[in-house]
Each structure stands twice: as C-alpha cells, then as structure tokens.
Amino acid sequence: MIFLLTFIFSCSRDNGDERNNNDRVPDVSVQIAQKEPYEPKMDFTGNIKPYREANLGSAIPGRIEKLYFSEGDHVSKGALIGQLSGETAAMARYEYKTLQKDYERTARLRERESATQQDYDHIKGKYKAAKARYDFFKKNSEIRAPFSGVIVEYLVNEGETFSFSPGLEPGYSHASGIARLMQMNPVKVKIDVSENLIPEIHNNNIEPFITTDVYPDEIFEGEISFIRPVLSTASRTATVEVTVNNPENKLMPGMYAKVSLEMEKDSLVFIPRHAVLDRKEGRGNLWLIKNGYATQQQVTIIDEHNGKMALRGIHEGDSIVVSGLHALKENIKVNIRE
C-alpha cells in the first residue's frame, strides 16, 4: 500500500511539472523597427588591367627581319611594328605574277574563242589561288597594330625565329606572339559583386571611385562599362567591369586598386546582427511579435556595418525579437520584457 501511494504521488507531481512546462511563456526583448538614413558605399578590390591587349604574331613561323619600335613606344592603329623575312612571300609573288600573265593571255584568247572554256577556267582558278596565297604570306610577314596602344614587350627579338609558343605571365594574355600591345587609356578594373547588389547597379546611376596605394591621396572617377550576364555558381557573384580614364598613364596594369560604389541614398531598418538567423546568400530570418505571438519572417540583407544589418522585408513599427530567440517557435505566446 505504501509503495502504491508513493507511485501515485510521483506520477501526479510529474504531470503537474509537465503542465507547468507547457504553460511556460518565454520572455523576450523586442526592438521596434524604425528606418534610418542609409548611404550605401560598397568597397571592392581588384587589379588594374589594360582596356585591350593583344600578343601580336603571325599565322606562319619565320625569322624576325626588323622591329620598327622600342618597348614602351606608343603606336597608332595600323602601324607597322615588325617585318618577318620575305623569302616565302617573294616566292608566292613570283608565282602569282606569272599566273597573272597567263590568265590575262588566256582571257584574251577566250574572247577571240581561240581558247576553250575549260582552259580559261583552269588558269583562272590557278591564278586566284596564287593571288590568295601571295596575299596571305604578304599579310603575315607584316606585324601591324590592330589598335592604338603601347608596346609593352617584345617576345621575340630581331634575327630570332618566331614559332607558336604561348606567353606564360600570370594575369595577361597567354596567346603566342612577337610583340605585346596594350591600350592603357582608358584602363579597367574587374570586381566581383554579390547577386543581391546587381539590381541596384542595373537600376541606378552609380558612380565608381578608384584609389590606389601608389597614389593614396588621389581619387580617380570611373564608370561601369560591363556587367557579366551570368553569375558564378560557386560565389553567387557577377563580374563587373569599371573603366577609368588614364590620360597621363598614371594607372599601370598590375597595380592594386580599391573600388568604391556609391549607391543611391535610401532609408532602411537596421537590426542587431545576432537577431538575424539562418543567414545565407544575402537572406536570413528573424522573429516578429504579432498580437503577443511569435512568427518568423524572411528578410533580404542589404548591408552590414558596426554589428547591425540593413534589411528589406520588414516595416516600420514591427516588433522584432532581439533576445530570447532560441526559446521561440511558430505561433508561441510570449512575454515581452520591458
């Protein structure tokens, strides 16, 4: 009997404790959402690159007969930079000129019907093939600038034989060539921008500013010239190209650069960082209190600064839980601490 009474008393106490636990209302602290001025300025880093670059070479190997400029010289579009030995082009020219005379002679005979159509077509085909061959060798024996720029480096010297071997300097063109040509006015900087900022860049007139360690007190103005139309699946970022005028050639390819994007001014709600849960790829969740009950809300993270996050997806006047977060579940009644 004593054992039975003890067991009944124990069960009664456990059931009472369970009811007390179920009826327990968690205490939370809240912050009333209020918008604050937001002047977004996003900072990125990158390397300065030439606006255009090319390793100039030939479609055929050959000996470098003459180089007409020095490294560091500026050349105009179409300028003759180098000349390959012309033996192959000369042989092609002799063949072409000989067949040109045969073709003209056969054309006159054909007009008088002293040559057959077959003979005329045959010599015409050989003449056109010889001319195309000569034009090809002549074009590839001359190295000309496809755009105005600076000859940065010769990959082959006079007297050496050019063959197809790629350049291996990291960060620049790896194409085979004789001379490396770069357009340095303007220059460009490539930065990787998070996906949630791409709409801001597309929809607003954003002005980039560039600074360098070499000229710490000088700010260079740029403009966004290209946004890559696809995102990296690894980082969820898009490559954005910033173009900078460089008339004095102060900015040199390879320099380290800092890029600041000043977005359009706005007003956003700022919440302590710890109140935003499950942060991933520019999104997160927080707890709101509505009519004394907790409910979860997804938000978009715009920026983070000084331990606070600027958010979209909540409104002024919302009660946001900032402490007691881990005791919450959906639609649970809460007690708001003063």
Mean pLDDT over the full length of the chain: 85
**Can you give the pLDDT at residue 41?**
78
Q: Out of 137-151, 195-209, 251-265, which region has the weakest mean confidence (pLDDT)?
A: 195-209
326, part of any domain: yes
- Is 245 within 8 Å of 183 (Cβ atoms)? no
Last residue within a domain, chosen from 262, 279, 301: 262
**Can you give the pLDDT at residue 253?**
92
Residue written as token pair 């790829």 = 281
The secondary structure of 54-100 as a DSSP string is EEE--SS-EEEEEE-S-TT-EE-TT-EEEEE--HHHHHHHHHHHHHH
Whether residue 274 sits in one domain with residue 237: no
Q: Can you read off the two tokens belonging to residue 17?
A: 């404790």
- The reported pTM is 0.61
pLDDT, one tens digit per residue, over 271-286 is 899 999 988 878 899 9
**Can you give the pLDDT at residue 186?**
94
**Can you give the pLDDT at residue 23?**
57
pLDDT, one tens digit per residue, over 29-72 is 999 998 888 877 788 999 999 999 998 988 888 889 999 999 99
Whether residue 226 sits in one domain with residue 270: no
Whether residue 112 sits in one domain with residue 255: no
Instruction: Please tell me the distance from the alpha carbon of residue 151 to that of residue 134, in angstroms, as a whole number.
Output: 28
The secondary structure of 249-260 as a DSSP string is --S-TT-EEEEE
The domain in which residue 132 lies consists of 86-140
**Can you give the pLDDT at residue 167?**
56
Instruction: Please tell me the distance from the alpha carbon of residue 160 to that of residue 306, in angstroms, as a whole number.
Output: 61
**Can you give the pLDDT at residue 148?**
95
Give residue 38's identity as a one-letter amino acid code: Y
167, part of any domain: no
Whether residue 281 sits in one domain with residue 251: no
- Say whether pLDDT at 26 is over 70: yes
